[in-house]
């Protein structure tokens, strides 16, 4: 496992993923019933954009730095921007919150959060990130397996699946995990982040989850046409059991990213399977 999210923290894909995540958390925590959250690939939880790994790629310059400087950014990003400001009380954009920071801050007294990570160094940092949140726990384990295990406990549930896509079986394991979670917890909200490289890979994944039978909300942000399978040309969020009314908000997220950060030929699209 060589992947470190610190190389990519705050890039365009994080704006799509974390913009979506804050909207999901707002919607799901509007219901007073307890919520269990499983993050299958949590990473370190927060990132220093002045650190060596982030500076090596500089991807945040065309992501969160652009968003924070945009006075006309749509309101759908307000939750993410507020989280960035909380992490940088002195101003600027040095520290970027990963999904564990965003989820931990959204937890209520009755909620619980299991953040899964395999790397020794990242799981140690993850534990530090989650220390202020009593309902949160960092676990060094296979997040795919943990999601299925937790689904068997019942109750309301959100599963965030965001693997590094370094393994050849990541797409298959996502589909297997979605099927396992939704078999045990049919009403669970399962949110999957995917890179968009070429249409065939994306379409093949969607075909692989068709047998699950769940209605899916698909949000795509394409920064350029999907013609070079060797590059990440965009990204998508695939959500099973998405809260009602999320379509327009996700379109606003993807449209801003595609139009402001993309190239000619990029586009945003939000649609539902079976629609």
In angstroms, what CA-CA distances link 181 with 24, 107, 191, 241? 18, 21, 12, 12
3-state SS assignment for residue 179: helix
- Domain boundary assignment for the chain: 5-272
pLDDT tens by residue, the chain, 275 residues:
444 576 678 999 999 999 999 999 999 999 999 999 999 999 999 899 987 666 666 789 999 999 999 999 999 999 999 999 999 999 999 999 999 999 999 999 999 999 999 999 899 999 999 999 999 999 999 999 999 999 999 999 999 999 988 888 999 999 999 999 999 999 999 999 999 999 999 999 999 999 999 899 999 999 998 887 888 899 999 999 999 999 999 999 999 999 999 998 889 999 998 65
The token pair at 153 is 């406990």
With CA atoms as reference, report the closest residue to 243 among 217, 219, 269.
217
pTM of the full structure:
0.94
Domain 5-272 is of which CATH architecture? 3-Layer(aba) Sandwich (3.40)
pLDDT at position 58: 76
| Residue 138 CA neighbour count, 13 Å, CB half | 24
With CA atoms as reference, report the closest residue to 43 among 163, 183, 202.
163
């Amino acid at each position: 496992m060589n992947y470190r999210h610190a190389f990519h923290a705050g890039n365009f894909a994080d704006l799509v993923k974390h913009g979506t995540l804050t909207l999901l958390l707002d919607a799901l925590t509007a219901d007073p019933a307890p919520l269990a959250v499983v993050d299958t690939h949590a990473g370190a939880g927060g990132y220093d954009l002045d650190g060596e790994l982030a500076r090596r790629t500089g991807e945040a310059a065309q992501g969160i730095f652009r968003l924070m400087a945009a006075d006309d950014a749509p309101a759908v990003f307000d939750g993410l921007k507020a989280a960035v400001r909380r992490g940088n009380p002195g101003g600027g954009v040095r520290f970027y919150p990963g999904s564990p920071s965003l989820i931990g801050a959204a937890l209520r007294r009755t909620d619980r959060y299991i953040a899964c990570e395999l790397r020794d160094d990242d799981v140690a940092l993850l534990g530090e990130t989650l220390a202020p949140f009593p309902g949160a726990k960092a676990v060094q384990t296979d997040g795919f397996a943990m999601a299925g295990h937790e689904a068997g406990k019942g109750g309301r549930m959100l599963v965030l699946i965001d693997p590094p896509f370094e393994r050849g079986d990541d797409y298959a394991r996502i589909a297997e995990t979605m099927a396992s979670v939704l078999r045990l917890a049919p009403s669970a909200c399962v949110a999957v982040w995917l890179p968009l490289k070429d249409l065939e890979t994306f379409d093949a994944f969607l075909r692989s989850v068709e047998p699950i039978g769940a209605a899916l909300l698909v949000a795509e942000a394409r920064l350029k046409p999907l013609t070079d399978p060797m590059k990440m040309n965009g990204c998508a969020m695939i959500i099973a059991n998405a809260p009602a009314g999320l379509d327009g908000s996700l379109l606003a997220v993807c449209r801003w990213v595609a139009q402001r950060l993309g190239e000619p030929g990029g586009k945003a699209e939000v649609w539902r399977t079976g629609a």
